[in-house]
Structure 1
């Protein structure tokens, strides 16, 4: 009897440990890392949305020549691009970002991006920002 009790207790402990590990793994999701690909920027002055290479922000707006570009994030609630919060804020609010869910309040890409609305930063001027 004590042997079956020990086996049952061991099984319960293992299940609780697995559930805890799963919770920690799921709650520790971070926003996807920014790679060498283009990211979306928004101008703080003109609210113009541009795609360009990863660079320190505020980046130089090729149209105005001023450092007014910050990384942008898409708001599914307002259906528009907005200035992205700091990485620290994004880490604290991981649940607000989801790569696979259109129900998430924020996203790194618009659901149906149209090529006509976004402009691309010229390569030469984006290299000058470094």
Structure 2
């Protein structure tokens, strides 16, 4: 039951997060490190992949590759979170990113990766 609830939350969170990359792209583009080229394209790619993986989590046949894709995507986002620590404090929209917030966000990455990894294993859902 817990795994089913977890999966439902993952589907919702990653699909909505992906949509948000298109709804409010400037916030995401702003936090992409300056040394990484094509930030507009990368933001759209990240949003597309989050939506795709979120939808793929729905189906048992595609759940494993979707969960693996989310793990890889979260690893790919690590430079963004490290850059946020370097740039903090700064304002992102109406939200103030302090050094503490940036460190907490980076510390959350392994938790999110393990959460997605939990759904890599085939089960009866």
TM over 0.5: no
What TM-score does the superposition give when structure 1 sets the normalisation length? Answer: 0.27
What TM-score does the superposition give when structure 2 sets the normalisation length? Answer: 0.28
Q: Which of the pair has more CA radius of gyration?
A: 1
Greater RCO (CA < 8 Å, at least 6 residues apart): 2
